[in-house]
Structure 1
Amino acid sequence: MSSQQTSMWQGAAGHTWVATQNLLDRMYQPIEDLLMQSLPANARSLLDVGCGTGATTLAAARQLGPNGHCTGVDISGPMLASARERAAHSRSSAVFIQDDAQRHAFKPASYDAIISRFGVMFFDDPVAAFRNLRLAARDGATLRMIAWRSPEENPFMTAAERSAASLLPQLPPRVPNEPGQFGFADRHHVQAILEQSGWSDIDIQPLDVACSFPEAELERYATQMGPVGRLLQTADDHTRRQVGTAARAGFAPYIDSGQVRYTAACWNIGARV
């Protein structure tokens, strides 16, 4: 993972995800459910890549039961501190590793399932990362990941940026195939990564998931998450108010009966050792 991504997830982005953990877990619950449904019935040792604050790792541990062994790996110290606290609170057997999955020395052939919910798009060398993950997988192990499709197919995800563009001219551009939220937007790019890193039976299918959260949480989501949220951390109060007003207008098409509703346009990515 690049030093820029590491710094971001160790700092502002990591702390923001911890602060909004409940909102994000509720919003992405349908995607977590789909991942859990895809787990092999005989899975006993599972790795969750880019596990963040641990929701999917803990869900997998519940599903695998007392004989299962679930491990989450993430670069973010703040997010893993939250994950470990949640595991202790729920008396989960899940464990967490703070490291870059691209470089971590996993025990070879130790996992029979590898999963990720929006956690694999940030590697600076994705071929090396998935080669490393393949070495950690047992013969016959499955890989199941959900990643974002393109920004154009996910207008909700860029609504805050579009609304605030004139107020925050320093917003960074979205660069295709670069590490970040939409780093796996190109299906052919993802296919090539998995082929070059030695995975087989690769299956990449579009997946559209209905997501929602309470309208009362919209301002917090629009002004704290993503590139806009990171820039607003150092902005003056006047700019924050202006961006908040503009962002709310930009999200107006998604508000319905007290809920914010949108479709998450994703790739459902599967492969096998």
Structure 2
Amino acid sequence: MANEEQQQAWTVQGTDWVDNAAIFDAVLAPFADAVIHAADIAPATRVLDIGCGSGTLLQHTAALGAVPFGIDISETMIDAARRRAPEAAVTLGDAQTADLREPNGGASFDRIISRFGVMFFDDPVAAFANIHRAAAPGARLAFVCWREGDNPMFAAGIDVLAARLESPPPALDPSAPGPLAFGNAERVRAVLADAGWKDIALEAFDGVCDFSIDGSDGVEERLALILANRTGQQARTELEARLGPDGWAGVVEELREELRRLRVDGVVKFPGRTWLVTAIA
């Protein structure tokens, strides 16, 4: 089965995303807005969200009067998306292999969008060719993906925990399916061109990842995301067993202090470096 490893991974990660949906929405708001703007969505437009997660873009799309559809490989996130955007038709499945037009009665889509949902395919050319088959002639594709190079989203504060581990998780591999898989602009262009897309454009887009919610300084919000990710989960398992509950609590406090040190203007925030990608079917 294509993307089986990613499906297994997102069975776990999907729960973390749903539990922390308010934080992710706040932190990633600039990128969601950028995708919606780039897609140029009009009322009654049929819009497909690839890797729709817990429904952020589906909700935006519905608010514009368009007709939203979503697909994701995480059942937990699909359930959350259905609750959040009841107007949307949401499918559990793999966009690399699924018949994407089936939920739309066999009709094609006018717009195809994604917020950080397209970097996890085993075979990205096959995936985007499948997506292309679901697009109406002249349909517009718009998505955002992380850009190669320094991205604090994957480092800020996490090094405090990684340094304590006997075998820290390996660095993210930009050549493998994962959040950095579309970091290289030439690779993205080649994948889309080989899959049949044209008028491909990549714009460097740097948004501010602001962890402040309801006037907070963002420390606890960033802490929650770190402790929920793979390094945080490994750290708790390993360090609590080695140091005991009090020792683990001390490590968490050390991480909290590091996040306080990283505050800018009293808030945990840093740039998120991405590509805003558009293409035409």
- Normalising by structure 1, report the TM-score: 0.89
Aligned residue runs from structure 1 range 53-72, under 5 A: 53-63=54-64, 65=65, 68-72=66-70
> How far did 1:228 drift?
1.3
CA distance in 1, matches of 2:271, 2:256: 18
In structure 2, the partner of 1:165 is: 162
Tell me the alpha carbon deviations over residues 19-57 of structure 1, each in whole angstroms, 9 at most, x when there is no partner: 100111111112111222223354610000111000111
- The structural deviation recorded for 1:69 is 1.5
Aligned residue runs from structure 1 range 43-62, under 5 A: 44-62=45-63
Q: Distance in 2 between matches of 1:166 and 1:199?
A: 43
Structure 1 residues 8 and 141: alpha-carbon distance in aligned structure 2, compared to 1, 3 A threshold:
same
Say if 1:177 and 1:186, in contact at 8 Å, map to a contact too: no
Check conservation: 1:112, 1:137, Cα contact below 8 A: yes
Residue 46 of structure 1 contacts residue 70 of structure 1 at CA under 8 Å; is this kept in 2? yes
Task: Please state how far the C-alpha of 1:106 moved relative to its aligned partner.
Answer: 1.9
Q: Which one is further off, 14-23 or 250-259? A: 250-259
Shift in alpha-carbon separation, 1:259–1:272, aligned structure 2, 3 A: same
Query: 1:222 touches 1:248 (CA, 8 Å); kept in 2?
Result: no
Give the partner amino acid of 1:155: P
Counterpart residue identity of residue 98, structure 1: L
- Give per-residue Cα distances to partners, 1:218-269, cap 9 Å, x unaligned: 3212211x33134246342467435424433543453134421111000011
For residues 173 and 239 of structure 1, do their structure 2 counterparts lie closer, same or farther at Cα, with a shift above 3 Å needed? Answer: farther
- In structure 2, relative to structure 1, the CA distance for the partners of 1:16 and 1:41 (3 Å cut) is closer
- The residue identity in structure 2 corresponding to 1:101 is A
Partners of 1:136 and 1:15 in 2: CA distance: 29
CA contact (8 A) 1:210 1:264 kept: yes
Residue 71 (structure 2) aligns with:
73
Q: Pairwise mapping of residues 115-134 of structure 1 onto structure 2 (< 5 A)?
A: 115-134=113-132
Instruction: Give the aligned partner of residue 215 of structure 2.
Output: none
Residue 223 (str. 1) matches residue 227 (str. 2): yes
Distance in 2 between residues matched to 1:254 and 1:50, nearest whole Å: 31
Please give the alpha-carbon distance, in whole angstroms, between the structure 2 residues aligned to 1:101 and 1:228. 28
- Aligned 1:17-36 pairs, distance under 5 A: 17-36=17-36
CA 246–172 in structure 1, closer or farther in 2 if over 3 Å, else same: farther
Residues in 2 aligned to 1:149 and 1:75: alpha-carbon distance in whole angstroms: 23
2:118, 2:60 → 1: CA distance?
18
Distance 1:24 1:180 in 2: 18
Q: Does 1:268 align with 2:272?
A: no
The AA in structure 1 aligned to 2:158 is E
Q: 1:251 aligns with which of 259, 264, 276?
A: 259
Number of residues paired by the alignment? 263
Which amino acid in 1 is paired with 2:136? Answer: R
SS at match of 1:259: coil
Looking at structure 2, the residues matched to 105 and 16 of structure 1 have their Cα atoms a distance apart, in angstroms, of 28
Unaligned runs of 5+ in 1: none
Q: Are residues 85 and 267 of structure 1, via their aligned partners in 2, closer, same or farther at CA, if it must alter by over 3 Å?
A: same
Shift, 1:166, TM fit: 2.2
